A and B are shown apart, each in its own frame.
Chain A
Amino acid sequence: MGPVIAPDERMGEPWCAIIAALLCVLTTACNRLDHELQQHREKFESLAASAEFIGDAWLSGSTSGTYTATALSQTFLLVEKERARLASTPDALIDRRGAELSDSAEALARTIASLLDDVRGVDAPAVRQRLAAVPFAPPKRYGRNR
């Protein structure tokens, strides 16, 4: 005959297991969301830094208007693709951090579109002004001669 187990203890074991499993699922889901948001953020930061580098290179006279327009158009497309990817995850948009990320990404897309317009119009002061406020970009400046 095996050891006698109190009824409440016997009942406790499966409940504990279910709660632990639920906690595991929730933690994994949260971690997954965190990971996804972090990946989106890194992508937007990279695209913002690219737009800044492209603008700086144009201002310093290192790159032509043709390349700058091509590169900014491509960066704009990549921002839009990433925004669509972020928007395709409802959980990310419900999350406060995800919603903020989405707003900043929209601002980034608008800034790049404006930069593109300024470069086409060869308006260096406007480009300089926009580069001072690129969302996601680290606050550092490089030399500009144009």
Chain B
Amino acid sequence: MGAIVDLVLGVVTSIGGFVEVGSISTAAQAGSEFGYQLIWAIAIATAMLALLTEMSGRLAAVSRRTVAAAVRERFGIHFQLVPLTAELVIDTLLITAEIGGAAIAIKLLTNVGFEWWLAPLALLTWLLLWLSGFAVIEYGLGLLGLVTLAFVISAWQLHPDVSDIGRSFLPTTPHHHYTRYAFLAVSIVGATISPYLLNFFSSGAIEEKLTESELWVNTTTAYMGMCFGGVVSMGVLVTSAMVLQPRHILVDSYEQAALMFVPVFGHYAIPLFAAALGIGCFGAAVELTVNIGYTFSQVFNWTWGANKPRRDCARFVTAFTFVLLMALGVALMGFDPLRLTMLSVALTVVIMPIVVLPFLVLMNDKKYVKDHTSGVIANGVLAALTIVGGILAVVVVPLEMFGG
């Protein structure tokens, strides 16, 4: 019975926690510029994420180690410093973008500049991490995040052509703006598969004491939760394609993106969009911040745990506090939240090979996963997509950012 409750809660919160600033921005831009044409990118990214989260849960359940701890043990600290530094940079940018997204959500409702909300939101993030345990972080925010289902309802209410959507699951060449198309495809992948999720899920499995006999719960949660989550992301893209594209509105700000709800939700459109954006971003900011604490503690062998008294894991608290302050510092220097988000998610794909490939090696090492090694297809598909995505990102990110 307990396993069933865990399963339902896991699936529901995965759906609620799926959409955040990156997925909303990338899917809204993709829909407004290319219609349904980039749905395939969401589908591929979701499938990759489902495979990776299932693997990270499996690694934790079988080896009793998180991804960061296992990589450090298998490859040594000198190797680990590379992905650790890359993750630190990207996660700091992502925390800034997520706090910025939540601040914009409040701005939509109050007309008070988003800069004023950055410090209070960072403080709220820290207080939540200081005062609550893993259940509140994972399940509480995940359940609140179910408000993002509004994107699916809105897409449904707009009666899209199902055969058009179906055809978009196969990649096609755009008629215009090739670089932009490739950049958005890369960004969608980066927004969906944040490397922090690998360690966050494995740390969550340790926090929740997932055992080898409960691997089926892990597998079902990963596949069902992520696939339904992907549907929410597709809801953003379809709504944007049906509302903004016919009006020739390109999404350059969250204020424009919020308009996508107006035809379906009328008077509730903006509050609903603000709630979806705000909760999604705040939830992701909290997860990213605690994950930094997890990662540093696991790499340097410090005591860690969101359920432990804070005095027993002072270095864990110091690590996430320090990174949260760094993110706030970046935010207060002044930034364009949408541009920073797009840059961070695209750069995520650049660093993905150095995070994913060592992880795949671990998932084929019987010392860690015993007989639960990954299959040839999963290994091949993930390795190939990660490398292709990384190469594509190295080419299109500079072209998009600096013109070309």
Residue among B247, B249, B255, B266 making CB contact with A74, cutoff 8 Å: B255
B255-A49 in contact (CB<8A): no
A66-B110 in contact (CB<8A): yes
User: A66: which B residues are within 8 A, CB to CB?
Assistant: 109-111
Q: A62-B269, A75-B255 are in contact. Are A138 and B248 (CB under 8 A)?
A: yes
A70-B108 in contact (CB<8A): yes
User: A69: which B residues are within 8 A, CB to CB?
Assistant: 111
- Chain A contacts with B in 49-86, Cβ cutoff 8 A: 49-50, 52-54, 57, 61-64, 66-67, 69-71, 74-75, 78
B256-A63 in contact (CB<8A): no
Give CA–CA (A50, B255) in the complex, Å. Answer: 9
Closest to B112 in A: A70
Q: Which of A23-31, A39-47, A121-129 contacts B (4 or more CB under 8 A)?
A: A39-47
A46-B252 in contact (CB<8A): yes
Residue among A54, A64, A138 making CB contact with B259, cutoff 8 Å: A54
Q: A62-B262, A66-B110, A70-B111 are in contact. Are A42 and B256 (CB under 8 A)?
A: no
B270-A67 in contact (CB<8A): yes
Size of chain B's interface in residues, with CB distance under 8 A? 20
What is the number of contacts between chain A and chain B, taking CB atoms within 8 Å? Answer: 64
What is the predominant secondary structure among interface residues of chain B facing chain A?
Answer: helix
Distance in Å from the Cβ of B247 to the closest Cβ of chain A?
Answer: 5
User: A64: which B residues are within 8 A, CB to CB?
Assistant: 270
Give CA–CA (A86, B267) in the complex, Å. Answer: 37
User: B255: which A residues are within 8 A, CB to CB?
Assistant: 54, 67, 70-71, 74-75
Give CA–CA (A61, B248) in the complex, Å. Answer: 22
The digit string for B95-126, where 1 denotes a CB below 8 A from any CB of A, is 00000000000011111000000000000000
B250-A42 in contact (CB<8A): yes
B108-A46 in contact (CB<8A): no
Residue among B111, B250, B266 making CB contact with A43, cutoff 8 Å: B250
Give CA–CA (A52, B246) in the complex, Å. Answer: 13
Which residues of A are in contact with B by a Cβ distance under 8 Å?
42-43, 45-47, 49-50, 52-54, 57, 61-64, 66-67, 69-71, 74-75, 78, 138
A-B CB contact pairs (8 Å), 14 listed:
A45-B248, A46-B250, A47-B252, A50-B259, A54-B259, A62-B267, A64-B270, A66-B111, A67-B108, A70-B107, A71-B258, A74-B255, A75-B256, A78-B252
